[in-house]
Structure 1
């Protein structure tokens, strides 16, 4: 196999790994969600070994971020501290300190289902990519977009750069900075920092020129 072709496949596999590994942590309640096995695996993680293998982020940065995540799980997944922090950040009912939807930051009215959400929906429809969730859930949730990134890397790699450049990268770093600042539990601070480092590393590796919007929040 041509070496460049193998490198390209390895990069796509790394992108899929990032999306599949991190996406569920933004989407799933630590106690009642479907990612219990992933939380348990992270709680038992060898941070040194994982940081050395983590794609797209510098080893020292990945080590610090993974250590924060493991620290947050050290009290156990059943600890209500982690559960309530997830619900405070991503569920409500109180106003969320860092809402996980892109249009909240890029739409002048700071609304869910804003213009960027509709643009992503139209792009997915044009590409024949099915929604991952029901019509009532905005497609531009960070967790959904990470999972979708993984799916595209595995199934539609020819449109991956457009997805990243046009729909995910324009707002992800801004949001993840907001989330890291808002997090009061080390797991979610580490998650935000690792996701940011990974996405920015992907952007660099794929040499993507991203036009950043004005942020209204």
Structure 2
């Protein structure tokens, strides 16, 4: 029988995946933005990642918000430029674009959208009875869709452990590992770096850095059994 710490771990991971999925699929409303940059939330970020630079970026966002220099409208514009509108700040938020890209040092030729990873990720979602979030994203290999799917799997693992169905929890953990290795781990850190570099606001600079740090944490300890 799983102890409470074993149950809480995938639940905590689910919440972080869900937050990152939300922030990369739609612009945060003012309440969500303020919740992330408040002192208590930044202290949790410091404790989780052990990287003072991430907290420092969010503290800068909080300071600018308190002086009126960082408004929800500014963050919304940043989100649109990063995630929706092709232009100099656009991040190409699809696995196909990242895994099929060529070149570097400013000469990157991005892969095309709707590559083979769309159908591959769709099959994973459908195995859990989920749709590919086409009400909010255009293709199933969108970063927000993949992060949200991992949130779902972590939540289901926590429920299975809480119910005492440890064999089911193991199967769900194995699906997390397979999906992450086949898809998310192949590009999410690069995407986080691109997001942080292109963001106009410290809010999305912090989101990009947090995504990078969280994926690094997941690679080492997150998915493994406690």
TM-score relative to the length of structure 2: 0.74
Task: Report the equivalent of 2:189.
Answer: 173
Hey, what's the Cα distance between the residues in 1 that align with 2:39 and 2:145?
24
Hey, what's the Cα distance between the residues in 1 that align with 2:94 and 2:154?
21
Residues 197, 71 of structure 1: alpha-carbon distance in 2 compared, 3 angstrom cutoff: farther
Task: Report the equivalent of 1:194.
Answer: 210
Residues 130, 53 of structure 1: alpha-carbon distance in 2 compared, 3 angstrom cutoff: same
- Of residues 62, 78, 81 in structure 2, which corresponds to 1:85? 78
Hey, what's the Cα distance between the residues in 1 that align with 2:62 and 2:129?
34
1:202 Cα offset (Å): 1.3
Query: Mind listing any 5+ residue stretches in structure 1 that lack a counterpart?
Result: 209-217
- For the 8 Å contact 1:26–1:143, the answer to whether it is kept is yes
Which secondary structure state, in structure 2, belongs to the residue aligned with residue 46 of structure 1? helix
Residues 141, 131 of structure 1: alpha-carbon distance in 2 compared, 3 angstrom cutoff: same
Hey, what's the Cα distance between the residues in 1 that align with 2:6 and 2:51?
21
- Of residues 77, 80, 94 in structure 2, which corresponds to 1:101? 94
Residues 193, 72 of structure 1: alpha-carbon distance in 2 compared, 3 angstrom cutoff: farther
- For the 8 Å contact 2:20–2:147, the answer to whether it is kept is yes
- For the 8 Å contact 2:118–2:141, the answer to whether it is kept is yes
**CA offsets, 1:3-57, max 9 Å, x none?**
xx54432321221121122221112224xxxx44311312433355323543xx2
Residues 84, 206 of structure 1: alpha-carbon distance in 2 compared, 3 angstrom cutoff: closer
Task: Report the equivalent of 1:164.
Answer: 180
Describe how 1:31-50 pairs up with structure 2 within 5 A. Answer: 35-46=29-40, 49-50=43-44
Residues 167, 71 of structure 1: alpha-carbon distance in 2 compared, 3 angstrom cutoff: farther
Task: Report the equivalent of 1:152.
Answer: 153
- Of residues 55, 64, 68 in structure 1, which corresponds to 2:56? 64
Residues 140, 77 of structure 1: alpha-carbon distance in 2 compared, 3 angstrom cutoff: farther
RMSD: 2.8
Q: Specify the structure having the higher radius of gyration (Cα).
A: 2
Query: Mind listing any 5+ residue stretches in structure 2 that lack a counterpart?
Result: 102-109, 158-171
Residues 162, 68 of structure 1: alpha-carbon distance in 2 compared, 3 angstrom cutoff: farther
Hey, what's the Cα distance between the residues in 2 that align with 1:133 and 1:42?
24
1:167 Cα offset (Å): 1.5
Q: Does 1:111 pair with 2:112?
A: yes
Q: Number of residues paired by the alignment?
A: 199
